[in-house]
Amino acid sequence: MTATPTTLQDPHGRPQPTPPNRRARAVMPLAMALPVAAAAAVLMDLAYPEVGFWPAAFAATGLLLLALIGRSVWGAVAVGAVFGLLFFGLLVSWTTRYLGPVPWAALTDGLCQAS
């Protein structure tokens, strides 16, 4: 008796080989995914009340997910950090109007490190 790989059956009863246990390949290289994450952050900021173009939130989410497909853990951390820092920095940019750039930088950095 020889060992055969486990098979699945399709709806018509034909055997189908089991899919390999491999991680999906990244859709784009990391060098391209980081600017895409930055563009997604800017698009997400456009969805907030200052501009109020809410459909941009869907495009931003799609871009960010596209940049994350197939990423390793540390690649996903890098993509998420670029998106999070830029988006949060844009979101709290109103603080520079009253406090100046130093508290804005501290707030952005401090809250991003806390999460």
- pLDDT (tens, 9 = 90+) of the chain, 115 residues, equals 455 555 566 677 776 666 666 667 889 999 999 999 999 999 999 999 889 999 999 999 999 999 999 999 999 999 999 999 999 888 888 777 888 888 878 777 765 566 5
For the entire predicted model, the pTM comes to 0.72
Are 95 and 104 in contact by the 8 Å Cβ rule? The answer is yes
Nearest to 15, CA basis, from 6, 28, 3, 23: 6
Task: Categorise residue 96: left if φ over 0, alpha if ψ from -120 to 50, beta otherwise.
Answer: alpha
